[in-house]
Amino acid sequence: MRFLIPLLVALAASPAIANAYDRPIPQAQSATAEFWYALASLTLLFSMIAVHWLVSRR
């Protein structure tokens, strides 16, 4: 009985039981997503410039 539990654990963890890993396929970006990404990037850039301007004035 002592060897039954480790044997069952070893068999349950064997690669024969495991499923193969399916890599996710990346999806293409839509034009709307590209627009919002560009807008967010420009907003971040302008906010960083504003912070730099405010800090450099001190």
Can you give the pLDDT at residue 45? 98
**Measured between alpha carbons, how far is residue 33 from residues 14, 25, 43, 51 in Å?**
43, 18, 15, 27
pLDDT per 10-residue tile (average), the chain, 58 residues: 78 69 86 94 98 90
Question: DSSP letter at 27?
Answer: P
